[in-house]
């Protein structure tokens, strides 16, 4: 039971009422607005969490399908390991270790929508070295950056450009 009026909480209660169908005048003047606010808020947050979880699962499923279609890119070449990330978690690990935005800006969605292809270049199999973004159709280098978004040596950048040309050739001769 309310024995005082909390204007800020009442404001939040009115906000929550905006999400409720069939709003009535009685709802606006509910004496038990504090308890009702909490119940409505918790219900709305539970729905939001469920929809977010479902969207994340779909995103992961969509990315895994896209990555599987690009698995032909995985290889060892010229002393490097060239890898397509297999999961969205791989993007997260790469972003954390390389201190870049490949996960935060959801570059995996660019792969799902076939805008670009993200490739991890390694000198050692489990140690990030360069994060590369190729154009999905042309394999032109859109970005190729080392740890902390550092630029590459001209020789390494030339290798990545040539790798893109090789992948483009392979993509068009596999069909």
pLDDT at 9 over 60: yes
Q: Decide if pLDDT at 44 tops 90.
A: no
pLDDT band at 4 (very low <50, low <70, confident <90, very high): low
Please enumerate in sequence order all residues whose Cβ is within 8 A of that of 168, keeping only pairs 6 or more positions apart, or say none. Answer: 138, 139
Instruction: Give the mean pLDDT of the chain.
Output: 90
CA 120 vs CA 81, 88, 138, 165, 175: distances in Å: 8, 13, 18, 17, 24
pLDDT at 1 over 70: no
- What was the pLDDT predicted at 37? 75
What percent of the residues of the chain are helix, what percent strand, and what percent coil, each to the nearest 5?
A: 55, 15, 30
pLDDT tens for 69-122 read 999 999 999 999 999 999 999 999 999 999 999 999 999 999 999 999 999 999
Question: What is the reported pLDDT for 112?
Answer: 97
pLDDT band at 5 (very low <50, low <70, confident <90, very high): low
What angle is formed at CA 144 by the lines to CA 128 and CA 72, rounded to 5 degrees? 70
**The model's pTM:** 0.72
d(CA 175, CA 171): 7
Dist. CA 101–CA 80, nearest whole Å: 23
Among the residue ranges 2-11, 17-26, 51-60, 118-127, the one predicted with the least confidence is: 2-11
The pLDDT > 90 percentage for the chain reads 65
How many beta carbons lie within 10 A of that of residue 96, not counting itself? 13
Residue 82: beta bridge partners? 75, 121
Instruction: Answer for the pair 39, 20: CB distance below 8 angstroms, yes or no.
Output: no
Q: What is the model's pLDDT at position 7?
A: 74
How large is the average pLDDT for residues 38-60?
85
CA distance 66 to 35: 47
Residue 74's closest CA among 4, 141, 168, 167? 167
Q: Where are the alpha helices (H) located in 18-32, listed in sequence order?
A: 25-28
pLDDT at 174 over 80: no
The answer to whether the Cα torsion of 87, 133, 74, 79 is positive or negative is negative
Mean pLDDT across 33-52: 82
With contact defined as beta carbons under 8 Å apart, do 143 and 151 qualify? no
């Amino acid at each position: 039971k309310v024995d005082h009026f909390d204007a800020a909480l009442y404001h939040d209660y009115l906000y929550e009422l905006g999400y409720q169908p069939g709003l009535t005048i009685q709802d606006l003047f509910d004496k038990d607005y504090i308890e009702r606010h909490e119940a409505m808020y918790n219900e709305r947050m539970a729905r939001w969490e469920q929809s977010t979880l479902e969207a994340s699962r779909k995103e992961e499923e969509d990315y895994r399908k896209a990555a599987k279609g690009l698995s032909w890119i995985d290889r060892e070449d010229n002393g490097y390991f060239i890898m397509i990330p297999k999961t969205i978690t791989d993007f997260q690990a790469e972003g954390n270790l390389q201190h870049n935005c490949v996960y935060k800006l959801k570059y995996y969605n660019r792969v799902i929508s076939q805008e670009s292809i993200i490739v991890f270049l390694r000198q050692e199999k489990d140690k990030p070295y360069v994060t590369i973004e190729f154009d999905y159709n042309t394999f032109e280098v859109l970005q190729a950056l080392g740890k902390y978004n550092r630029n590459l040596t001209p020789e390494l950048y030339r290798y990545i450009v040539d790798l893109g040309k090789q992948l483009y050739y392979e993509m068009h001769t596999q069909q």
